[in-house]
Amino acid sequence: TGQVSRKSKIVDLDPRFSGKVNEKKTHVDLEIFNAKVTDSAIYYCALEPTVTGKQTTLYKNLTYVNHP
């Protein structure tokens, strides 16, 4: 956790955010330490591409934007 890598770009994430994969690798838990009101959002955590069917990942509340 801590960084997102997309097309040779690395973006530092807020260190309060942490993702943990369970032992069976069936789900991901998102932990937000010292949560703030501004952290309110819908977060999508996935082990592999799911809803979009594409090889891109969905992010919310991050400063990185991927433009085609």
List pLDDT tens digits, range 34-50: 999 998 888 877 777 66
Instruction: Read off the pTM.
Output: 0.47
| pLDDT value of position 26 | 82
Q: Tell me which DSSP letter residue 24 carries.
A: T
What single-letter amino acid sits at 19?
G
Q: How far is CA 60 from CA 7, 13, 24, 64, in A?
A: 18, 12, 26, 9
